[in-house]
A and B are shown apart, each in its own frame.
Chain A
């Protein structure tokens, strides 16, 4: 069971975002992808899921050795790719329950029917695990959810859909310490040889709760360094500048001329 990204070049409009990215994830592994803002981390997750705004210039994405780049978003989902999104969309009028039920139905074989009783029990258990509260099933999908609730709802969907490879795109942003711990525990509980996890994050915080097997540093659209725990600590202390210096990378100068900066959220 592998997800392999091979020498991938990806653009949006006229900007090339991914510039020869390589990554191989096996079942049971947890990969963390870290890097400064705007280096293409989210693009990687979106293109693997098949977002129509991005264009693959060259390279390939292989699931168990077979290319999926010609597959539609929903086909990829049904093949077991999952993306917990950074900004989940609000869909008024559609209840969380109906949405997840419909999503699960798409996984049924032709003559198979979703067993509703079993589904309800699983749904209730998952919302309890994530401390989502009683009314969750009947609330409209992400509508009026707090930032933290939206993130937890993504994990809830992941729990329900049992993906084979899941990208968690900045699942930690907008979460307070308690919620982060809860999400961390829930994701960790899902770890199995049948699930490959790719965590996209700026900070080491999340990685205190979900321990990665590999840590990748991504700069300018490709992975420039791969390591383990020690890399997280170093980034936490020293940021990313030393990586650039060590590897002799010039960051593309896209920043505006600025007189002073806002207080950093780091």
Chain B
């Protein structure tokens, strides 16, 4: 390795730092029914939740890894700590947050971000939320914005009604695992007719070696309500593999609207296996804005089950695969109701030998009469070492359904570079500009601050390709 390479490697993770933190409680390394019971006991959960956890663990043992896609056989489930509790109580305001945690967030620039754009914050540190603020105007509207553990305690009826209804623990191995050991995450309930104008934001972060994170997010947007939720994360570098298996369940009521935006940027030693699914009732609209920049292996296919008539689903996704990265991402649209519509826009970038796949399903059921779906997949390969596949599955089971699928794969061409360079940009700046332009349809959907952060992250990743 040349000196230049070494330097670049060190620069690769700007946010790769670890702040020393003392955990109050944690389980032993490994997974068993006893561990699951211990987690539930520490959290003083109701019995029904304990029962679901135990059943989910049985499902986890029974379900095999997916027969398709990247190889997951290397994950050692017994080498993971499933629960770490960083502090005994959930902080109500910023003053009480421990200083070292504040330092970590300061390095990430979160407090400044808060001033301008945050109208509510859940900063998840290790397994549980330690900081939580909900601004007064939201609670006045009857909006509940809590970490998931507190929500279970404070609003058990709503919780029980929706928990595991969009994502059953029998859905896949990692949804089962999450349901058995889940901890933390966000819970949002927006009551009927309440429209929240400002985006709600929450940052997540893993900060303990060999610790998996299993957040569980549950969002309910009731009839004619609307929510724009933004979740983002950056993570430090670790020497050992770390598994992240989150579940996000969203329920979009009749004529309601929900947008869920996220930029995932785990460090490249993290395996990220996330199940995200929304159930959309009649005339409802779900939008997933899903960015995947980090993690070594990432499998994520945000889904919409368009249950009610005229329900609408939109997924706009980008995946960036650099050195040692494998992004297997996409979207699913399951049309059940009549005249349901969906749109998927997928933008993939591979550079420095990265691998990026689009994998998606669009299915229109027997009763999804008159449904329409549109899929656009564009991939750009920055160099010859990088690779990409597009793996779409399109199914129409009725006579009046429509699916349009467009896919392009392009390379950054000599002529494009020549044009930009002839105006003074060097090769890296020119490549960066082409990539930025390529992801613009995604970036423009993000709140400004997030778009800026995304641009910085991509620039950082692109800068790694120098030399």
A residues near B (Cβ < 8 Å) are: 49-53, 72-74, 76-78, 82-83, 85, 88-89, 91-94, 99-100, 102-104, 106-107, 140-141, 157, 161
- Report the nearest A residue to B419, measured CB to CB: A89
Residues of B within 8 A of A103 (CB): 423-425
Chain B residues whose C-beta falls within 8 Å of the C-beta of A106 in the assembled complex: 423-426, 429
Chain A residues, Cβ within 8 Å of B430: 74
- B105 CB-CB contact with A under 8 Å: no
Q: Is the CB of B419 within 8 A of A92?
A: no
Q: Which of B414, B416, B418, B427 contacts A91 (CB 8 A)?
A: B416
Which B residues are in CB contact (< 8 Å) with A94? 433-434, 436-437, 440
Question: Which residue of A78, A92, A93, A99 has the most chain B CB atoms within 10 A of its CB atom?
Answer: A93
Which residue of the partner chain, among A49, A77, A83, A93, contacts B440 with CB atoms under 8 Å? A93
Instruction: Please tell me if B415 contacts chain A, counting CB pairs below 8 Å.
Output: yes
Which residues of chain B have C-beta atoms less than 8 A from A157's C-beta?
423
State the CA gap A76–B422 with chains docked (Å). Answer: 8
Of chain A, the residue at the smallest CB distance from B426 is A74
Known: A53-B414, A106-B429. Is A73-B436 also a contact (CB below 8 A)? no
Per-position binary interface string of chain B over residues 392-427, scored 1 when its CB falls under 8 Å from any chain A CB and 0 otherwise: 000000000000000000000011111111111111
Pairwise interchain contact A93-B438, C-beta atoms closer than 8 A: yes
Interface residues on B, range: 20 to 34
**Chain B residues, Cβ within 8 Å of A50:** 422
* B437 nearest CB neighbor, chain A only: A93
Chain A residues lying within 8 Å of B440, measured Cβ to Cβ, are: 92-94
Q: Smallest CB-CB separation from A77: which chain B residue?
A: B424
**Is the Cβ of A52 less than 8 Å from the Cβ of B425?**
no
A93 touches B436 (CB 8 A): yes
Within 8 Å of chain A (Cβ to Cβ): is B370? no
Which A residues touch B423, using CB under 8 A? 77, 99-100, 103, 106, 157, 161
Tell me the bound Cα distance from A91 to B437 in angstroms: 7
* Contact present for A74 and B419 (CB under 8 Å): no
B199 within 8 A of A: no
Chain B residues with CB below 8 A from A161, complex form? 423-424
Since A89-B419, A102-B425 are in contact, a sample of 7 more A-B pairs with Cβ atoms closer than 8 Å, ordered by chain A residue number, is A77-B424, A88-B419, A93-B436, A94-B437, A100-B423, A103-B425, A161-B424
Report chain A residues within 8 Å CB of B414: 51-53
- The 7 nearest A-B residue pairs measured at CB: A93-B437, A93-B440, A106-B424, A103-B423, A73-B421, A94-B437, A89-B419
18 contacts between A and B (CB under 8 A): A73-B421, A73-B422, A77-B421, A78-B424, A91-B416, A91-B419, A91-B433, A92-B438, A93-B436, A93-B441, A94-B433, A94-B436, A99-B433, A100-B423, A102-B429, A106-B424, A140-B437, A141-B437
- In the complex, chain B residues whose CB is within 8 Å of the CB of A89: 415-416, 419-420
- B439 close to A (CB within 8 Å): yes
CA distance A76 to B418 in the complex (A): 12
Using Cβ atoms and an 8 Å threshold, which residues of chain A touch B421?
Answer: 72-74, 77
Q: How far is it, in angstroms, between the C-alpha of A50 and the C-alpha of B420 when the chains are bound? A: 12
- Residues of chain A within 8 A (CB-CB) of B437 are 91-94, 140-141
Give chain B residues whose Cβ lies under 8 Å from the Cβ of A99. Answer: 420, 423, 433
Whether B419 and A85, one on each chain, are in contact in the complex, defined by CB atoms closer than 8 angstroms, is: yes
Which A residue's beta carbon lies closest to that of B423?
A: A103
A53 to B416, CA, bound (A): 13
Of the residues B418, B425, B427, B436, contact of A51 by C-beta under 8 Å: B418
Q: How far is the CA of A73 from the CA of B423 in the complex (A)?
A: 8
B179-222 vs A, Cβ < 8 Å mask (1 yes, 0 no): 00000000000000000000000000000000000000000000
Q: Which residues of B contact A91 (CB under 8 A)?
A: 416, 419-420, 433-434, 437
Smallest Cβ distance from A94 to chain B, in angstroms? 4
Which A residues touch B427, using CB under 8 A? 72, 74
Q: Are the C-beta atoms of B426 and A72 separated by less than 8 Å?
A: yes
Tell me the nearest residue of chain B to A103, going by C-beta: B423
Contact flags B107-129 to A (C-beta < 8 A → 1, else 0): 00000000000000000000000
**Separation of A107 and B429 alpha carbons in the complex (Å):** 14
Q: How far is the CA of A78 from the CA of B429 in the complex (A)?
A: 14
What per-residue 1/0 map shows which CB atoms of B426-466 lie under 8 Å from chain A? Answer: 11011001101111110000000000000000000000000
In the complex, what's the smallest C-beta–C-beta distance from A70 to chain B, in angstroms? 15
Q: What's the least CB distance linking A167 to chain B, in Å?
A: 10
Residues of A within 8 A of B415 (CB): 89
CB contacts (< 8 Å) of A83 on chain B: these are 422
CB distance from B384 to the nearest CB of A (A): 15
Within B350-403, the residues touching A (CB, 8 Å) are none
Kindly supply a per-residue 1/0 record for chain B positions 31-53, scoring 1 wherever the CB is within 8 Å of any chain A CB and 0 otherwise.
00000000000000000000000
Tell me the complex Cα distance, A85–B423, Å.
11
Complex interface: chain B residues within 8 A of A85 (CB): 419, 422
Name which residue of chain B comes closest to A160, CB basis: B423
Which has the most chain A C-beta neighbours within 10 Å: B419, B422, B436? B422
Candidate in A72, A85, A89, A140 with the most chain B CB atoms within 10 angstroms: A89
A91 to B433 CA separation, bound complex (whole angstroms): 9
B382 to chain A, nearest CB (A): 15
> Nearest chain-B residue to A78 (Cβ)?
B424
Q: Give the shortest distance, in Å, between A234 (CB) and chain B (any CB).
A: 34
Q: Once the chains are docked, how many angstroms separate the CA of A107 from the CA of B418?
A: 17
CA A51 – CA B420 in complex, angstroms?
12
Closest chain B residue to A84, Cβ basis:
B422
For B416, what are the chain A residues with a Cβ–Cβ distance below 8 Å?
89, 91
Taken together as a complex, chains A and B put the C-alpha atoms of A141 and B90 apart, in Å, by: 50
Report how far A72 CA is from B428 CA in the complex, Å: 13
* Chain B min CB distance to A114 (Å): 12
CA gap between A106 and B418 in the complex, in Å: 15
Q: What's the Cα separation between A92 and B423 when bound, in Å?
A: 17
B245 to chain A, nearest CB (A): 33
Rounded to whole Å, the gap between the CB of B425 and the closest CB of chain A is 6
Q: Distance in Å from the Cβ of A241 to the closest Cβ of chain B? A: 33
B252 → chain A, closest Cβ, in Å? Answer: 30
Q: How far is the CB of A221 from chain B (nearest CB, A)?
A: 21
Q: Which residues on the B side are within 8 Å of A72 (C-beta)? A: 421, 426-427
Residue from the list A49, A53, A92, A102 in contact with B422, Cβ < 8 A: A49
In the complex, A72→B194 CA distance in Å? 58
Q: How far is the CA of A92 from the CA of B440 in the complex (A)?
A: 8
Whole-angstrom CA separation of A176 from B99 in the bound complex: 68
Q: Which residues of A contact B438 (CB under 8 A)?
A: 92-93
